[in-house]
Amino acid sequence: MENNPSQLISRDNGSEEPTRPVTVPLPGSDAYDELPQFPKRSVLPFRRTIRRQELRQIVPLAETTIYEMERRGEFPRRFNLTPRCVVWDLAEVEAWIEERKQTPRSGISKPDVHLRKARPVRASSHEE
């Protein structure tokens, strides 16, 4: 079956709905491990790279945030395959996500809203 947006899926109750686009399985799932680009027993180690568009689907951060984190050494560095092709190592990005999942949230503090330049909070208003 081709992935054609004009095709309709027929439900048991007789209604029809448009088909959904095909999505890539999540890393770590059985379906992800069964993808053909991930051979289980290969002679050479296989490292998959991803381009900016796929990175943005995996890591929902703004490009400028990713660039700043790279600059500070807090995010995997991109590298050039060619002068016009920038990629990230998928294994490094997945390891970064796992590391972030394991990091406790207790050390995160909220910004002081009284120091804001735009829409400062007056001292008389109630504290959050």
Give the pLDDT confidence of 89-115 residue by residue, as tens digits: 999 999 999 999 988 777 677 778 778
- The number of angstroms, rounded, from the C-alpha of 48 to the middle of its chain's C-alpha atoms is 15
Q: 13 pLDDT band (50/70/90 cuts)?
A: low
CA-CA distance, 66 to 76, in Å (whole number)? 9
DSSP character at residue 11: P
- Supply 60's token pair: 């929902």
CA-CA distance, 49 to 9, in Å (whole number)? 34
- Mean pLDDT check: name the lowest of 46-50, 74-78, 81-85: 46-50
